[in-house]
Amino acid sequence: MSGTYRAMHARSLADPEGFWSEAAAGIDWVRRWDRVLDATNPPFYRWFVGGQLNTCHNCLDRHVDGGRADQAALIYDSPVTGTVRRFTYRELRDAVARFAGALRKNGVGKGDRVILYMPMVPEAVIAMLACARIGAVHSVVFGGFAANELATRLDDATPKLVVSASCGIEPGRIVPYKPLLDAAIEWARHKPERCIILQRPEQRCSLREPRDVDWEAAVAAAEPAACVPVAATDPLYILYTSGTTGQPKGIVRDNGGHAVVLKWSMANVYGVAPGETFWAASDVGWVVGHSYIVYAPLLHGCTAILYEGKPVGTPDAGAFWRVIAQHGVSTLFTAPTAFRAIKRDDPDGALIAGHDLTRFRTLFLAGERSDPATLEWAEAKLKVPVIDHWWQTESGWPMAANCIGIERLKVKHGSPTKAVPGWDVRVLDAQGVEAKPGDIGAIVCRLPLPPGSLPTLWNADKRFVDAYLTAYPGYYQTGDAGYLDEDGYLYVMSRTDDIINVAGHRLSTGAMEEVLAAHPDVAECAVIGAADEIKGQVPLGLLVLKSGAASPPETIVREVVALVRERIGPVAAFKTATVVKRLPKTRSGKILRGTIQKIADGKEYKAPATIDDPAILDEIAEALRDLGYPKVLR
């Protein structure tokens, strides 16, 4: 109905307590809250204070008891192992209860942290829900991160136990996880007491007893554990995301607000009904995986898909259509990069033919800017609405979207549409004044943020305030820049910090620079995100060598590429670097990364007035030309 969105959004901001207490009726509570929103300690806000619930109960037991026991809760579809496995709600509940018992038997209790370093196997989902069941706090670390990143998270989260697997499987290669885990534990100051290891048949690993326990043995020895009531404000999980340094930020998610908004978002943002099949083609190591592979579909009584494969190459660019048809997917959520890869391999969409996509209704894209060409291709080939929506690890759920469950608004390519109810999204100029429509500024959200968004950073309240709430008092700084148009449509254009988006994965160029700078022959360096046809952006390194560097430049380049892979992980996709004589800087010594990026991307640039020596820009352009930049993007 026309105007429904506008009215709902306005109400969510005018009466947030009324709005969210109504949404909270969608969740089973052990104890009703005393206060919907506790705003007594700004800028810290808490939702559903005094309330008690269990997230795992709401994801599983509730549906088993409510008539969905035999409905599929989770379908594991793994082209890389040639496996499809279905878990009904009852089967998943039983497996989770058992594993929760195993966690408990191995010393994990309420409030303890558990790190999960897992490939895309059902046991990853089981372990997440098992933590939720006993009130433990999980922290999933994406499998593409290196041991060093895992060690950083071990030290920050100080887990009692780690759950991992013998290996992950990437197309064409097996990735042994256990050596990475062993190395991380060796390097970390904090040592977990136990590791529960899933032995995958594709490659088993040796266990270090008594620290390491075999998954099967741990489960066999355990009794099922019941759901434990936790406070709505207790943490459900910590998810680390790139900050502006090598030290990642531990985003905290609470139990109550998270359950309420995720359930609400399924109907209102995604327009999905309980019983339907929802597929987020992401990884459980990212926020999209937490929210829309695991929690939201299960909270809503849907069937969730866990896909261990890629959009292309497993076996071909028709893989997504096969999964949609085989499992009757109604809604797919993925990153634009997946569609760019599919379009590259199958430009005419020939592989769509022969797959029954009649139940497929909507495609949602997020994680990076959706370029109009990719959107148009997807619309033309799939003949379903393609909806760009915008959010981040910190928000945990969409901040801007075309909320098709409320009212389908006009689509404007290049825009993720408008603020989702609960989010008061504004654009501010450098003085903190609201920008005029069309003028680019910092995208911020007025406090308080809605339920489900980060209440703080793990053990780092001050960093939370400094990083997000200080630049624009009264507002949360998203780190994105963009504008609102005359109709209130949001356009997200770039980051205001050093974060780049590589194949929808969020990475810090600052963290990569820290690694490059650690090479003994590197005097100075800069890493920028250069435009890439498939991945959106890829990192590109520029190195200035120390005089008398021991090795030739090609060797140093090879070494720094290997170093980033070793310290951060293959997911960084850091493959290109070059040696330059000097880096362009302002007179105060700030490296002009933005200008280097423009040169790499073939955009117009002018030497900033503050530049130390404009001639350096020509040198950089020449060095990048030798590397094939700017690349011609279609």
The residues binding ligand AMP (CB under 6 A) are 241, 287, 366-370, 388-393, 416, 478-480, 492, 495, 501, 506
- Partner that binds at residue 416, options ligand COA, ligand AMP, none, CB closer than 5 to 8 Å by kind: ligand AMP
Cβ neighbour number for residue 554 with a 10 Å cutoff = 9
CA distance 205 to 567: 22
Instruction: State in angstroms the smallest separation of the CB of 389 from ligand AMP.
Output: 6
- Partner that binds at residue 64, options ligand AMP, ligand COA, none, CB closer than 5 to 8 Å by kind: none
Contact 138, 124 (CB under 8 A): no
Please spell the DSSP secondary structure of 464-493, one letter per residue.
HIIIIISSSTTEEEEEEEEEE-TT--EEEE
Cβ proximity to ligand AMP: between 287 and 323 the closer is 287
Tokens of 17: 């307590």
Cβ proximity to ligand AMP: between 87 and 458 the closer is 458
- Partner that binds at residue 144, options ligand AMP, ligand COA, none, CB closer than 5 to 8 Å by kind: ligand COA
Instruction: State in angstroms the smallest separation of the CB of 287 from ligand AMP.
Output: 5
Cβ neighbour number for residue 31 with a 10 Å cutoff = 12
Cβ proximity to ligand AMP: between 250 and 367 the closer is 367
- Partner that binds at residue 170, options ligand COA, ligand AMP, none, CB closer than 5 to 8 Å by kind: ligand COA
Give 390's strand partners: 400
Contact 56, 73 (CB under 8 A): no
Cβ proximity to ligand AMP: between 118 and 366 the closer is 366
Instruction: State in angstroms the smallest separation of the CB of 488 from ligand AMP.
Output: 16
Cβ proximity to ligand COA: between 87 and 177 the closer is 177
- Partner that binds at residue 341, options ligand COA, ligand AMP, none, CB closer than 5 to 8 Å by kind: ligand COA
- Partner that binds at residue 9, options ligand COA, ligand AMP, none, CB closer than 5 to 8 Å by kind: none
The DSSP element (H or E) to which 176 belongs, if any, is strand 173-176
Task: Tell me the three state secondary structure of residue 627.
Answer: coil
Contact residues for ligand COA, defined by CB under 6 A:
143-144, 168, 170, 175, 282-283, 286, 288, 310-312, 335, 337-338, 341, 367, 503-505, 534, 570-571, 573
Contact 306, 74 (CB under 8 A): yes
Cβ proximity to ligand AMP: between 106 and 334 the closer is 334
The two beta strands, 230-231 and 52-53, are antiparallel
Question: Which residues touch 548 (CB under 8 Å, ≥6 apart)?
Answer: none
Instruction: State in angstroms the smallest separation of the CB of 244 from ligand AMP.
Output: 13
Tokens of 92: 């998943």
- Partner that binds at residue 369, options ligand COA, ligand AMP, none, CB closer than 5 to 8 Å by kind: ligand AMP
- Partner that binds at residue 331, options ligand COA, ligand AMP, none, CB closer than 5 to 8 Å by kind: none
DSSP 3-state percent helix, strand, coil across the chain (nearest 5): 35, 25, 40
Burial track 503-516 (b if 16+ CB lie within 10 A, e otherwise): bbbbbbbbbbbbbb
At residue 578, what are phi and psi to the nearest 5 degrees? Answer: -145, 155
CA distance 540 to 7: 46
Give the residue among 574, 594, 573, 591 at the shortest CA–CA distance from 582. Answer: 591
Cβ neighbour number for residue 562 with a 10 Å cutoff = 11
- Partner that binds at residue 534, options ligand COA, ligand AMP, none, CB closer than 5 to 8 Å by kind: ligand COA
- Partner that binds at residue 318, options ligand COA, ligand AMP, none, CB closer than 5 to 8 Å by kind: none
Place of tokens 């400094």: 466
Give the residue among 31, 70, 26, 81 at the shortest CA–CA distance from 53. Answer: 31
Cβ neighbour number for residue 436 with a 10 Å cutoff = 12
Instruction: State in angstroms the smallest separation of the CB of 292 from ligand COA.
Output: 9
Cβ neighbour number for residue 362 with a 10 Å cutoff = 19
- In sign, the C-alpha dihedral spanning 51, 56, 61, 63 is positive
Instruction: State in angstroms the smallest separation of the CB of 397 from ligand AMP.
Output: 11
Cβ proximity to ligand COA: between 270 and 483 the closer is 270
- Partner that binds at residue 479, options ligand COA, ligand AMP, none, CB closer than 5 to 8 Å by kind: ligand AMP
Cβ proximity to ligand COA: between 118 and 409 the closer is 118
Cβ proximity to ligand AMP: between 368 and 513 the closer is 368
Instruction: State in angstroms the smallest separation of the CB of 395 from ligand AMP.
Output: 8
Give the residue among 123, 131, 128, 125 at the shortest CA–CA distance from 106. Answer: 131
Instruction: State in angstroms the smallest separation of the CB of 319 from ligand COA.
Output: 10
Cβ proximity to ligand COA: between 311 and 455 the closer is 311
Cβ neighbour number for residue 19 with a 10 Å cutoff = 21
Burial of 46 (0-12, 13-18, 19+ CB in 10 A): buried
Cβ proximity to ligand COA: between 55 and 334 the closer is 334
Please spell the DSSP secondary structure of 47-87, one letter per residue.
EEET-EE-HHIIIIIHHIIIIITTSEEEEEEETTTTEEEEE
Instruction: State in angstroms the smallest separation of the CB of 568 from ligand COA.
Output: 10
Instruction: State in angstroms the smallest separation of the CB of 452 from ligand COA.
Output: 18
Instruction: State in angstroms the smallest separation of the CB of 457 from ligand AMP.
Output: 14
Length of the chain: 634
Instruction: State in angstroms the smallest separation of the CB of 395 from ligand COA.
Output: 14
Cβ proximity to ligand AMP: between 442 and 560 the closer is 442
- Partner that binds at residue 335, options ligand COA, ligand AMP, none, CB closer than 5 to 8 Å by kind: ligand COA
